[in-house]
Amino acid sequence: MAVQTVASTTDSAVDLGPAAALSCRECGHRVPLGPVFACEECFGPLEIAYDFSAYDTEELRKRIEAGPANIWRYAPLLPVPADVATKPNMNPGWTKLVKADNLARELGVTGGLYVKDDSGNPTHSFKDRVVAQAVEAARAFGYTTLSCSSTGNLAGAVGAAAARAGLRSCVFIPHDLEQGKVVMAAIYGGELVGIEGNYDDVNRFCSELIGDSAGESWGFVNVNLRPYYAEGSKTLAYEICEQLGWRIPDQLVIPIASGSQLTKIDKGLQELIKLGLVEDRPYKIFGAQAEGCSPVSVAYKAGHDVVRPQKPNTIAKSLAIGNPADGPYVLDIARRTGGAVEDVTDEQVVDAIKLLARTEGIFAETAGGVTVGVTKKLIENGLIDPAKSVVVLNTGDGLKTLDAVAGTGLTATIRPNLESFREAGLA
Amino acid sequence: MSVTVRIPTILRTYTGGQAEVTAEGTTLGEVISDLEKNHTGISARVLDDQGKLRRFVNVYVNDDDVRFEQGLETVTPDGAGVSIIPAVAGG
């Protein structure tokens, strides 16, 4: 049984590069690297503790800049072996940072507005970044089956990565997901199981499965491999800064589902500062949710430091996590950096998807509509300073959530002649 | 009132490796107290210093997350299944 075998693994028994141990984010309790995710002392989340002590700043910068055009250019800062780029992996990342001048004009931003467009990843969402880390952890710990609970994007990323890596995949999703995401998850040939319930029900099921003999030898990317998996989101911070000329933007707008991505982007920025790769300057992190699933936004506005779970009801299904485990950390980060957490209605999400498409030629999935919509709202209410730089994340491709913009279609139907063309007012 | 409690892997050191144990109690709070009697140390892992559920622990009585119910006051009917699960995230 892989879990038991690896739970006793010592730091030196696995090669995961600079990863030195697992450390509890709540109480600081340290355990050796292994496929465990919760602190045995307090249930707090375990995360990777690194040893970066050997790095010289300028040598590291040169090494990164000479690296491949994917996340493995940052391998020295990730829990992966040094030869990771030679292994079969999806090699995601180094997606476009689009200078969104047209959108900036619409929103009145003069300090520079950028969209980090992660729809350009191999399975068209940011999930490829995190799954790529989990695949390497799965290899290190000897797992041959990859699994996950998913709101859709992750299921596709796991299916594809397992296919590439030669692993079996069996993933679990809510039974009523968008058809595009179901197809995107199923096409890679792994097993795809619909669970009668919402994402939180799926997540609970997977957490129980992993404690059962049926699932204990599986690598669940966002459960027992979660400490490794989550680190992939740091690469968004690394890329944004490198693409801006090794500079931290003044303001970042990040979607919140579990809150993991936002917390890891902050961790990535802090690492770059400590390593001397960027100037230590203030930045503000803003979290974005849909009103129909806004437990973190509600807690932020109420001044709470804990998050009361909600039953999700929004078209932004990739963000529909009613019980976000990293919610308290998101609140800490938003407050520490002087940012905020805000939410928008489903109607505003759709409007924002169309706004981004119309101004920048980027077709975002609903999560991208949430971030753009929240950016607009935060500018209008004065919390985002339009005179300073803003980076907005689009974490997925609009082709996956076509239902959200149903009704968008033909401008006119005409007969195949010029008269009809003119009659339709198209000349 | 006897209930069945599913124990997560990280707490099985307190139950001699058992994944499932029985406990008595009419509310979740009573069930946890009864667990502590037979499996000393388990309560301090699930509850914080103020006696509240730790924020990274999810507990379900049958299919209901107790945070949507009455927390530690949630009624545990005879024969109910109680699941203690570490919070995890990522969609």
Q: Give per-residue pLDDT as tens, A228-258.
A: 999 999 999 999 999 999 999 999 999 999 9
**Does residue B64 lie in a domain region?**
yes
Please, are residues A328 and A260 in contact by the beta-carbon 8 Å criterion? no
- State whether A222 and B19 contact (CB < 8 Å): no
The most confident of A7-11, A163-167, A179-183, by mean pLDDT: A163-167
Give me the helices (H) in A112-152, please.
127-141
Taking 60 as the threshold, does the pLDDT of residue A105 lie above it? yes
Distance (Å, whole) CA A265 – CA A243: 15
Give the residues across from A172 on adjacent strands: A149, A193
**From the candidates B6, B67, B88, which should be mutated to test the interface with A, based on the most A CB atoms within 10 A?**
B88
First to last CA, chain A: 70
Question: What distance in Å separates residue A96's CA from the closest CA in chain B?
Answer: 23
pLDDT, tens digit, 9 for 90 and up, residues A368-407:
999 999 999 999 999 999 999 999 999 999 998 898 998 8
* Encoded tokens for A43: 């249930």
Whole-number Å distance between alpha carbons of A259 and A289: 10
Mean pLDDT of chain A: 93
C-beta separation of A261 from A233 below 8 A:
yes
Q: Measured in whole angstroms, how far is the alpha carbon of residue A344 from the centre of its chain?
A: 19
Phi–psi pair at A395, nearest 5 degrees: -95, 0
How far from A6 is each of A9, A22, A144, CA to CA, in Å?
5, 13, 14
For residue A150, give the nearest of A331, A382, A400 by alpha carbon: A400
Output the CA torsion sign for A161, A23, B91, A205: positive
The β-bridge partners of A23 are: A30, A47
Q: Is B36 on the interface with A (CB under 8 A)?
A: no
B72 belongs to a structural domain = yes
**Smallest Cα–Cα separation from A16: which of A303, A331, A228, A291?**
A228
Mutate to test the interface with B, among A181, A207, A213, A225 (most CBs of B within 10 A): A207
| Owner of token pair 């079996």 | A168
Contact B89 A259 (CB under 8 A): yes
**Residue B64 forms contact with A (CB below 8 Å):** no
- What's chain A's length in residues? 427
Give the helix/strand (H/E) hosting A289. Answer: strand A284-290
Domain formed by A97-124+231-405, architecture: 3-Layer(aba) Sandwich (3.40)
Please report, for residues A27, A215, B63, the alpha-carbon distance to residue B21 in angstroms, rounded to integers and kept in the order given.
Answer: 28, 20, 18
Query: Is B10 within the bounds of a domain?
Result: yes
CA of A325: which chain B residue's CA is closest? Answer: B89
Whether the pLDDT of residue A139 is over 90: the answer is yes
A374, A253 in Cβ contact below 8 A? yes
B50 touches chain A (CB under 8 A): no
- The pLDDT profile of chain B, 91 residues, written as one tens digit per residue, is 799 999 998 899 999 999 999 999 999 999 999 999 999 999 999 999 999 999 889 899 998 889 888 999 999 999 999 999 888 755 4
B80/A144 Cα distance (integer angstroms): 35
Residue numbers in B near A2 (CB within 8 A) = none
Q: Is residue A108 very low, low, confident or very high in pLDDT (cuts 50, 70, 90)?
A: very high
Provide the pLDDT confidence category of residue A1 given band limits of 50, 70 and 90: very low
Size of interface A-B (CB pairs under 8 A): 110
CB contact under 8 A, A211 and B6: yes
pTM for this one? 0.91
CB contact under 8 A, B90 and A309: no
- A180-229 pLDDT tens trace: 889 989 999 999 999 999 888 898 899 889 888 888 889 999 999 999 99
CB atoms within 10 A of CB B78: 9
* Residues 6+ positions from A416 with CB-CB distance below 8 Å: none
Q: What is the pLDDT of residue A308?
A: 87
Taking only Cα atoms into account, the Rg of chain A, rounded to an integer number of angstroms, comes to 21
How many distinct structural domains can be found in chain B? 1
**Is the confidence at residue A323, as pLDDT, over 90?**
no
Domain CATH for B37: 3.10.20.30
Which amino acid is it at A358? R
In this complex, which of B8, B55, B58 lies closest to A328 when CB atoms are compared?
B55
B20/A contact by beta carbon, under 8 A: no
**Do A344 and A377 contact (CB within 8 A), yes or no?**
yes
Cross-chain residue pair A258–B91, CB shorter than 8 Å? yes
B83/A212 Cβ within 8 A: no
Most A CBs within 10 A among B56, B64, B65, hence the mutation to make, goes to B56
Secondary structure E strands in B1-91: 2-6, 20-24, 57-61, 64-65, 81-86
**Nearest Cα residue in chain A from B6:** A208
pLDDT at A413 over 60: yes
Instruction: Decide if domain A2-54+125-229 falls under CATH 3.40.50.1100.
Output: yes
Helix, strand, coil abundance in chain A, percent, nearest 5: 45, 15, 40
**A3 three-state secondary structure:** helix
**Whether the Cβ atoms of residue A341 and residue A296 lie closer than 8 Å to each other:** yes
Write phi, then psi, for B84 (nearest 5 degrees).
Answer: -105, 125
One-character DSSP codes across A196-225 = SS-HHHHHHHHHHHTTSTTTTTSEETTTTT
**What is the rounded distance in angstroms from the CA atom of residue A53 to the CA atom of residue A74?**
16
Question: Would B74 be classed as within a structural domain?
Answer: yes
> Which residues of chain B lie closer than 8 angstroms to A216, CB-CB?
9
CB contact under 8 A, A208 and B6: yes
d(CA A370, CA B84): 33
- Percentage of residues in chain A having pLDDT higher than 70: 97
Give Rg (Cα) of chain B.
Answer: 12
| pLDDT at residue A5, rounded to an integer | 31
Kindly tell me if the per-residue pLDDT of A423 is higher than 80. Answer: yes
Is pLDDT above 80 for A3?
Answer: no
Query: How far is Cα A261 from Cα A258, in angstroms, rounded to an integer?
Result: 8
- Out of A154, A211, A306, the one facing B55 most closely (by C-beta) is A306
Smallest Cβ distance to A208: which of B54, B55, B85?
B85
pLDDT tens digits for range A251-301: 999 999 999 999 999 999 999 999 999 999 999 999 999 999 999 999 999
Q: Which pLDDT value is given to residue A204? A: 85
Interchain proximity B54–A230, CB inside 8 Å: no
CA dihedral for B15, B18, B19, B24, sign (positive or negative): negative
Q: What is the pLDDT of residue A306?
A: 83
Distance CA A279, CA A182 (A): 43
A116 in Cβ contact with A104 (< 8 Å): no
Locate the chain B residue with the closest alpha carbon to A308: B67
The nearest alpha carbon in chain A to B63 belongs to A201
Among A78-87, A122-131, A277-286, A400-409, which is the least confidently predicted range?
Answer: A400-409
For tokens 């980090």, the residue is: A116
CB A176 within 8 A of CB B53: no
What's the CA gap between A198 and A176, in Å, rounded?
A: 8
Over residues A21-50, mean pLDDT: 93
- Domain ranges within chain A, ordered by starting residue: 2-54+125-229, 97-124+231-405
Establish if B91 belongs to a structural domain. no
pLDDT, average across residues A348-374: 98
What is the reported pLDDT for A147? 96
The answer to whether A36 and B40 are in contact (CB under 8 A) is no
CA distance linking residue A282 with residue A337, whole number of Å: 7
A223 vs A9, A135, A186, A420, CA distance in Å? 18, 13, 21, 59
Inter-chain CB proximity B19 and A212 less than 8 Å: yes
Cross-chain Cβ contact A259/B54 below 8 Å: no
Closest CA to A251 of A415, A112, A60: A112
Cβ contact, residue pair B45, A42, below 8 Å: yes
Range of the domain at B17: 2-86
A208 contacts in B (CB within 8 Å)?
6, 83, 85
B89 touching A, CB under 8 A?
A: yes
Residue A69 CA to residue B6 CA, distance in Å, equals: 46
pLDDT computed for residue B89 by the predictor: 57
The nearest alpha carbon in chain A to B47 belongs to A42
Mutation to test the A interface, candidates B5, B9, B49, B66, most A Cβ within 10 Å: B9
Cβ distance A318 to B91 less than 8 Å, yes or no, reads yes
